[in-house]
Chains A and B, each alone.
Chain A
Amino acid sequence: MTSVARLTKAHLWIAFAAFLVACVFGIWQMWARSPLATPYVIAEHYFLSVTAHGVAMAFVLTTFFIMGFGYFTAETALDRPLPGKPWAWAGFFLAVAGTLMAVAAILSGQASVLYTFYPPLTGSPFFYLGLVLVVVGSWIWCILMIVAMREWKGAHPGAPVPLAMFATVANAIMWLWTTVGVAAELLFIVIPASLGWVDTVDVGLTRTLFSWTLHAIVYFWLFPAYIAFYTMAPQAAGGRLYSDMMGRLTFVLFLVYSLPVGLHHLFMDPEHSTGFKFVQMSLTVLVAVPTLLTVFTISASLEIAGRLRGGRGLLGWIPALPWDRPMVLATGLSFVMLFFGGGGGLVNMSYGLNALIHNTSWVTAHFHLIFGGTVVIMYFAICYAIWPRLTGHEAGTQDAQRLQLWLWFVGMMIMSLPWHWLGLHGQWRRVAQFDYTNPIIAAWGPWVTTSLVGGILLFASAVVFVWNLAALRADRKAPVAPFAFATAVHQPARVPASLNGFGLWNVLVLVLMIAAYGWPIAQFFVLQPPHAVVHRVDRGG
């Protein structure tokens, strides 16, 4: 067991408790949108549920998982104790307190503004202050990750930082940049409005600041999955990582290109000019590069493993892989979902095509498939890989783990592929109920019902997952081998200093952010556009 085991487990249990509850809300929402009679369905309940589902999945599950996994990685990859462990616990309790504040505000119906806020809608200040505490807790994590890497570099002058830790710190630095937008939105505009200090808000500015955060936050969630691809999957498959350098390049490219691209979430908004939207779309295209690098590198790594296991011929290495191992299975399933989800994403980020699917279920389908599918299935696999090290218990059989991963994959495909189809047919997102007596909408019915079946499979998978983690305690206690991250086939003899730290990349992020967001934000202060009246959901409209 590692010395951060309790810390990591505490984070992961909070993450997955929120996840399980959020799954229940998710199923109910799909039920409400289906032609089937649904209990408790009025619009007010629906938007409360959407808010709870979004906050639990996007803020609580992710942030706590990433923090917990980060602490584990820092200690395991660097092979030294985590510095500032009391601070880590302080960050944890801060984030827990914030979560409880936000949950109380949501469940009492005082914050049904969805997790993306949508000013001038304004809810209870407890909701926003709670989320600020979660973010502050995560900032402590960021600083501890940076300190851990710096101390390690001090103790190992001239040595390359292990890839898993390099990636974790890349994520921490990206998260610090990412949260600037939403922090400015909350602290300077939304929270003053929620406290009644101002009566109007500049909606264009708030949307722009949120867009700063909105795309990069997705990469914050994605990083652990990519860390697993590079540093866990090759090892689990019985091979080695094809290229360490490719991993480093991938992670710095994510850092550089996930930030100056948020305007692609505002293609249909009137407050920005076509030129800036085009520039940010062009930069968005580059975010595909690290993903393509990763698909190539990990496929190559798995090919090495498959051939070492006796696979022959052009594709013979694929069946030779140990698909019975959860990490390998999850990686394969994750890549299939990445193929569909990434393809959908290319449509979203195209300035012209975006208009076709704007505000439809296509968008919901895309982010569920990419985040809920590609990313979260790797969260499961990571847990299965590290849980024995955290608990000292080894699972007797991995049947339940495999079942759970397959259920998640099948459920996600059955749920999200119909949503893509429905989006192309114009089904709106963020709408509680549909008029199924309308012949056009009636044709959607079977697809919506099919997606509900997918949702039920996902919920079953979620229950099995939590059961698997809890049940491990009852499994045999066994001496567990020390955890080791994958190493590369040819560890590079020398690493460029730029790929062993983040100074250069921080400067480039700054340059890109000034180019991409300078005028789009400054215009609100120069042009002084009209504001919108604050619309309170916690005190009656």
Chain B
Amino acid sequence: MSVESEAEDRPWQVRASVIVVAIVVVAALLGFVVLPVVQGRSAGVDAFSAICRALGLQAGSPAVRQPVSATRAEPVSLVAWTEEVIARLHNPNEENGSDLAANICASCHGADGVSPDPAFPHMAGQSAFAIYKQLHDFKNGARGNEIMASVVEQLDDEQMADIAAHFAYFTKGALDPTTPVTNDPAIVRLVERGITARGLPACASCHGAHAGGPIETPTLAGQRHEYLAAQLRAFAKGERRNDIYHRMRDIATKLTDSEIEELAAYYAGIGLYQRIK
């Protein structure tokens, strides 16, 4: 037994190459020309557009009609986490942030972000992303609050980013939801595991270390009891609507009054104050 010479092998090389290339050409003709044109025709897409769509040069599928409505979807929040916004939050103008915070925010939220009044939330402990999202939403009307709307009216995006970064003492990873301060095992279970049968995910699945929530998810640990309870009720009644995909509205409507109170107590009791530097 031996191996053929290169010259003897030539037919193998030619045949294999022709077969492989021919299969690609046939598949490409079907995928880029025949199917798009045929499917596009029945979907009211012209042949040229159908082929461009099949190639990925135009948006859309050749087998789907063009949308007939020009109505634009209304997002619940206009915040977009672009690289520019993220970069500004990471590299703020600290002096600007500090001045603005002292002049505008400190009277209600405290100079160090620790609110002196139970009605107002602490800023300390929140990430810059969480604070920026809410400031932006107040400004654009996505979240309604008369006091805050008038406060942020004068601020531009960069100023809001500077303020947010100023108060961002901790990332939300500082939250430790595994330290229960309630004796009610049902609440601990709700926080840590959720209640599948009621469609309630674990609070900790978003609001916790290693959590899966979006980047703007606020820290709950150490927040004001009154504020947390008020927000959950506002979500439940639909008075607050700046939660993307209805996440919090869906959850809050399923909670009982006593669960709202106990959850607020649970999170308010987690020791934030020891964590403030």
Contacts and interface: CB of A to CB of B under 8 A. Distances in A.
Interface in A170-197: none
Nearest to A433: B196
Interface string B163-179: 00000000111110000
Nearest to A496: B12
A532 to B, nearest CB: 8
A43 B209 CA distance: 13
Contact of A498 (B12, B36, B196): B12
B111 to A, nearest CB: 26
A537 interface: yes
Contact of B175 (A112, A507, A511, A540): A540
B20 A160 contact: no
B83 A283 contact: no
A491 B56 contact: no
A497 B9 contact: yes
A160 B212 CA distance: 55
B28 A494 contact: no
B115 interface: no
Contact of A437 (B12, B62, B90, B197): B197
Given A42-B193, A496-B9, A275 B56 contact: yes
21 contacts: A42-B204, A158-B3, A159-B2, A199-B86, A274-B31, A274-B35, A275-B28, A275-B31, A275-B32, A276-B56, A279-B27, A283-B27, A436-B197, A437-B197, A496-B3, A497-B6, A504-B17, A511-B21, A538-B210, A540-B209, A541-B215
Contacts of B274: none
Given A435-B196, A508-B16, A274 B62 contact: yes
Contact of A540 (B1, B8, B171): B171
Interface in A28-72: 41-44
B30 interface: yes
A421 interface: no
Interface string A268-306: 000011111111001100100000000000000000000
Interface stretch (A316-324, A337-345, A366-374, A515-523): A515-523
A435 B197 contact: yes
Contacts of A496: 3-4, 8-9, 12
A520 B56 CA distance: 8
A500 interface: yes
Contact of A491 (B1, B83, B206): B1
A199 B90 CA distance: 10
Contact of A159 (B1, B8, B81, B171): B1
Given A519-B55, A540-B175, A494 B3 contact: yes
B151 interface: no
Nearest first, the 10 A-B pairs at minimum CB distance are A540-B173, A273-B56, A278-B31, A275-B54, A282-B27, A497-B9, A541-B211, A437-B197, A275-B32, A498-B12
Interface of B: 1-6, 8-9, 12-13, 16-17, 20-21, 23-24, 26-28, 30-32, 35-36, 53-57, 61-63, 81, 83, 86-87, 90, 171-175, 192-193, 196-197, 199, 202, 204-206, 208-215, 217
A130 interface: no
Given A491-B1, A540-B210, A541-B214, A278 B16 contact: no
Given A278-B30, A286-B23, 16 more contacts: A44-B210, A109-B210, A158-B3, A199-B90, A274-B62, A275-B32, A278-B54, A283-B27, A435-B196, A495-B3, A508-B20, A531-B83, A535-B215, A540-B174, A541-B208, A541-B211
A492 B1 contact: yes
A540 B32 CA distance: 45
Nearest to B9: A497
Contacts of A500: 3
Contacts of A104: none
Contacts of A537: 210, 212
Interface in A351-382: none
A184 B217 CA distance: 31
A449 interface: no
Given A491-B1, A497-B4, A540-B173, A434 B56 contact: no
Contacts of A539: 171, 173
Band of interface residues on A = 35 or more
Contacts of B20: 256, 508, 511-512
A533 interface: yes
B56 to A, nearest CB: 3
A437 B198 CA distance: 9
A274 B36 CA distance: 9
A200 interface: yes
Which of B27, B35, B175 has the most chain A CB atoms inside 10 A of its CB? B27
A493 interface: yes
A489 to B, nearest CB: 13
Contacts of A286: 23
B87 A199 contact: yes
Nearest to A121: B212
A541 B217 contact: yes
Contacts of B214: 533, 535, 541
Contacts of A273: 53-57
Contacts of B90: 199
A279 B16 contact: no
Contacts of A511: 20-21, 24
Contact of A494 (B2, B196, B217): B2
A278 B56 contact: no
Contacts of A434: 196
B3 A159 contact: yes
A374 B171 CA distance: 47
Contacts of B217: 541
A14 B17 CA distance: 41
Interface in A328-348: none
B86 A533 contact: yes
A33 B4 CA distance: 58
A495 B2 CA distance: 6
A500 B57 CA distance: 42
